[in-house]
Amino acid sequence: MLGIMQGYIRAVDAVNYRVGRIAMYGIFVLMGVLLWSSISKTFFLPTLWTLEMAQFVMVAYYILGGPYSIQLGSNVRMDLLYGEWSVRKKAWFDLLTVLFLIFYLCVLLFGAISSTAYSLGYWGTEPFSFFGGLITGSEEIGRMERSSSAWRPYLWPVKSIMILGMFLMLLQCISELFKDVLRINGEAV
């Protein structure tokens, strides 16, 4: 069982490390969009797409970089008592709190899947069966949701990125749970 946990930790950490390192460069894409927005507003006609595109890029940057941040331990913590605890006591506390985070991420993931199904034109109450039906051909994409802005982009791409990011965050939290179990048992992580 410990070997399975360590293999899972290695695999998930490797994926999230690579995705996080790629997402890290999203800040430059965001800067480019905002720079173009400033240039076009100053010298040309203002573009309609820059504000919303900047928001979409920021969502991708934040959501896809989250698991990498958790992996590195660079998330914000309240360190009043935690810093003085032993490794084992920290692992017990982290194990308890990561269970709450996993529950929260499952709820968020369900909401993101429902919202993405809605953005693809599904009006029912079973989003998982809708996506299963898309794969098997028994469902069709309906009238797709668009933003209410003047640019009116489709919303399913950014919602799909949110699903991917929340799924990777859930996998990373399970990895952190396994790391805490290994620390409690005195195993090397």
Q: By C-alpha distance, which of 50, 11, 8 is closest to 30?
A: 50
Going 91 to 93 to 95 to 101, the CA torsion angle's sign is negative
The tens digit of pLDDT for each residue in 64-114 reads 999 999 999 887 777 788 888 898 998 999 999 999 999 999 999 999 999
C-alpha to C-alpha distance for 85 and 93, rounded to whole angstroms: 10
> 0.75 cut: is pTM over it?
yes
Report the alpha-carbon distance of residue 25 to residue 112 in Å, rounded. 24
Q: Domain boundaries in the chain?
A: 2-184
3-state secondary structure of 84: helix
pLDDT on residue 9: 96
**For residue 82, what are the contacts with CB-CB under 8 A and spacing of at least 6?**
90, 93
Q: Show Cβ contacts of residue 183 under 8 Å, excluding neighbours closer than 6 positions.
A: 87, 88, 90, 91, 189
Length of the chain in terms of residues written: 189
Residue 23 — very low, low, confident or very high, per pLDDT cuts 50/70/90?
A: very high
